[in-house]
């Protein structure tokens, strides 16, 4: 598929900011028509994500670029493993190298972190969710990286899910009225989630017909109690600064989902390099 208009615009920004009025070094030192070949290589263990974006960078610079041995999203790679081979005009390869790597390194970093969290949930039936704490402009890419790492996506934005919080409840007068008001205005295909800080709110949300109940910053004991109260009549999501130490415990409370903002807002890039290959 051709990159969607959103990704095309992001890639245009990436190229504009890095190449600007031109790549001084490459244009000075390489002729326009020389062909080359290069590979993206993992320099540390990682879960791969972002090869499509990297290819889109190279294609944007020169549509004659060709690719082979492209890692599927979610591939686990050991150091030395090739993630992608690109063949095309040497200038396009060198000028696009950094932008393309920056995509793969960041997205694989997210996928790798997500996979570590996901491992802690194995066997619990509880699923790992991301949040909207993503890098502006990168939402779709970063959420794909989370899936690549074994997580699931929470709503993509403000348009495909309703999340009722304190200030919404205050404005409507009660959880029941907030849920009813929202229900009457949204497409029938979209569910309503209510953020609950305590068990009383859990009960109110359930009575109001909430589809999903978020247990916000609750300790495991309270989570477990909330799950009992809900008793399958709504989905439950545990949220609030869960880390690799605490996520397993949360998952064992019986919640359907745990959500972790750090997946996208605090993943470090993994080390991937571009090696030139003999043409």
Residues noted as catalytic: 98, 133, 165, 195, 216
Query: Looking only at residues 178 through 207 of this chain, which bind a second copy when binding is defined by CB under 8 A?
Result: 178, 181-182, 184-191, 193
Contact (Cβ atoms closer than 8 angstroms) between residue 88 and residue 58: yes
CB of 248 to a second copy, least distance (A): 20
Q: For a second copy, which is the closer residue by CB, 119 or 271?
A: 271
Interface residues for a second copy in 57-76 (CB under 8 A)? 60-63
For residue 27, state whether it binds a second copy (rule: CB under 8 A). Answer: yes
CB of 196 to a second copy, least distance (A): 15
Residue 85 Cα to chain centre, angstroms: 24
125 contacts a second copy (rule: CB under 8 A): no
Q: How far apart are CA 47 and CA 146, in angstroms?
A: 10
Q: Is 133 in the site for a second copy (CB under 8 A)?
A: yes
Binding of residue 20 to a second copy (CB under 8 A)? yes
Looking at residues 238 to 267 of the shown chain, list those that interact with a second copy (rule: CB under 8 A): 256-257, 262, 265-266
Closer residue to a second copy, CB minimum distance, 185 or 221: 185
Looking at the Cβ atoms of 77 and 164, the one nearer to a second copy is: 164
Stretch near a second copy under the rule CB under 8 A, chosen from 79-87, 114-122, 130-138, 245-253: 130-138
Under the binding rule (CB under 8 A), the answer on residue 95 touching a second copy is yes
Among 218, 237, 244, 230, which Cα is nearest to 152's? 237
Using an 8 Å Cβ cutoff, are 71 and 121 in contact? no
Question: Do 144 and 6 touch, CB atoms closer than 8 A?
Answer: no
Q: Evaluate whether 101 touches 54 at the Cβ level (below 8 Å).
A: yes
Contact 80, 42 (CB under 8 A): yes
Task: Return the residue matching tokens 């960041």.
Answer: 106
Handedness of CA 65, 71, 72, 73 (dihedral sign): negative
In the bound state with a second copy, the residue whose beta carbon lies nearer, of 58 and 221, is 58
Segment near a second copy (CB under 8 A), from 76-84, 115-123, 162-170, 247-255? 162-170
Determine contact, residues 43/79, Cβ cutoff 8 Å: yes
Choices 76-84, 154-162, 197-205, 224-232 (CB under 8 A): range interacting with a second copy: 154-162
43 neighbors 272 (Cβ within 8 angstroms) = yes
User: Alpha-carbon distance 52 to 143, whole Å?
Assistant: 14
For a second copy, the closer CB: 175 or 218: 175
Write the DSSP symbol of residue 63.
Answer: T
Q: Would you count residue 153 as binding a second copy (CB under 8 A)?
A: yes
């Amino acid at each position: 598929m051709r990159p969607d208009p959103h990704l095309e615009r992001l890639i245009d920004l990436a190229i504009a900011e890095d190449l600007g009025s031109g790549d001084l070094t490459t244009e000075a030192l390489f002729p326009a028509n020389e062909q080359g070949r290069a590979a993206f290589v993992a320099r540390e263990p990682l879960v791969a994500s972002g090869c499509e974006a990297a290819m889109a960078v190279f294609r944007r610079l020169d549509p004659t670029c060709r690719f082979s041995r492209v890692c599927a999203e979610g591939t686990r790679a050991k150091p030395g493993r090739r993630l992608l081979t690109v063949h095309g005009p040497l200038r396009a390869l060198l000028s696009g190298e950094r932008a393309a790597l920056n995509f793969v390194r960041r997205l694989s970093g997210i996928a790798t972190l997500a996979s570590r969290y996901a491992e802690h949930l194995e066997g619990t039936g509880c699923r790992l969710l991301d949040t909207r704490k993503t890098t502006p402009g990168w939402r779709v890419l970063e959420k794909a990286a989370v899936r690549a790492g074994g997580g699931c996506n929470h709503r993509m934005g403000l348009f495909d899910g309703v999340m009722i919080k304190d200030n919404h409840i205050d404005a409507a007068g009660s959880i029941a009225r907030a849920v009813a008001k929202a229900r009457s205005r949204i497409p029938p295909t979209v569910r309503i989630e209510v953020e609950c800080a305590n068990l009383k709110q859990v009960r109110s949300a359930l009575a109001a017909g909430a589809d999903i109940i978020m247990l916000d910053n609750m300790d495991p004991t309270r989570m477990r109690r909330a799950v009992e109260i809900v008793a399958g009549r709504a989905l439950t999501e545990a949220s609030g600064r869960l880390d690799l130490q605490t996520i397993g415990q949360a998952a064992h409370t019986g919640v359907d989902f745990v959500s972790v903002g750090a997946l996208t807002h605090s993943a470090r890039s993994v080390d991937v390099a571009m090696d030139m290959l003999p043409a």
